[in-house]
Amino acid sequence: MRLARYLAHGGVASRRAAEEVIRAGRVTIAGQVVTDPARDVDEKSGVEVDGRPVAPEEREVWAVHKPAGVVSTAREPGGRRAVTELVPSERRLYPVGRLDADSTGLILLTNDGELANRLTHPRYEVPKTYAVRLERAPSGGDLERLRGGVGLEDGPTAPAQVKRVGEREIEITISEGRNRQVRRMAEAVGNRVEALRRTRIGSVDLGDLESGRSRRLSAEEVSALRAFPGPDAATGTLWEDSAP
């Protein structure tokens, strides 16, 4: 198995992040520093990161209902609580993507680097759905602009699925993962997000999971996530204006 993949399976980081760890000279094999992510290794190779042995561990995926004020990091140096503290697992889990501290809802935690990469890499276009309350009621034109894509400082957004669910409430599904994207999209049409809750990632739904609680995904749910379609999963289909 290639070294970067081995580190990902060992829960060190995603495969892409593991490659950076390797290139930084933090990885040794049998006591020798190795900087080639493609180096073949196995459990008998003596792989260590920062002097700590690395071995494949059982992979876990958890769904967490993140409350406001909790940060989407593996550990928080300040006084705020980290999302990893909400999961009763001894594994070295890390968040798959992020939610702003003031946003709530579904976030996944895992030690499976390959799955994390699939869920976050732009080429897979895994859709994420958000329940959004806006400062003012959006017009039909505002919703059409969001559906077609709006211009942001880092480039235009891809088409989104948008439907109205209340006077000031909308549901929006995007397949990108830019920083504070849904909030910036609202600002691009002259509005502002008052509350944002992520309700779905790919095939996993928040459901009735209570705020601050977590649950481990079943093997069937994890398999569904791995098999979830990529580019065809979020096509920007226009939903009826009746109901990030």
CA atoms within 13 A on the CB side of 208: 0
pLDDT for residue 214? 98
Name the active-site residue from 100, 102, 232, 241. Answer: 100
Q: Three-class SS of residue 49?
A: strand
Q: Are the beta carbons of 214 and 62 closer than 8 angstroms?
A: yes
pLDDT for residue 76? 60
Q: Is 209 exposed, middle or buried (0-12, 13-18, 19+ CB in 10 A)?
A: middle
Residue of 46 and 236 predicted with greater confidence: 46
pTM of the model: 0.76
* Residue whose entry in the numeric block shows the structure tokens 């948008």: 162
pLDDT in tens, 93-145: 889 988 999 999 999 999 888 899 889 888 888 999 999 999 999 999 999 99
Domains, the chain, with CATH or none: 3-53 (3.10.290.10), 61-121+205-227 (3.30.70.580), 127-204 (3.30.70.1560)
State the average pLDDT over residues 18-38. Answer: 94
Alpha helices of the chain — where are they, by DSSP H? 3-9, 15-23, 113-120, 140-148, 181-188, 219-227
State the average pLDDT over residues 192-203. Answer: 97
Among 24-38, 77-91, 215-229, the least confident range: 77-91
pLDDT for residue 144? 97
237 pLDDT above the threshold of 80:
no
Residue 61, strand partner residues: 110
Is 36 annotated in the active site? no
Residue of 11 and 217 predicted with greater confidence: 217
Nearest alpha carbon to residue 188 among 172, 167, 207: 172
| pLDDT range class, residue 232, cuts 50, 70, 90 | very low
Residue 202 per-residue DSSP state = T
Q: How far is CA 125 from CA 60, 121, 202, in A?
A: 22, 7, 9
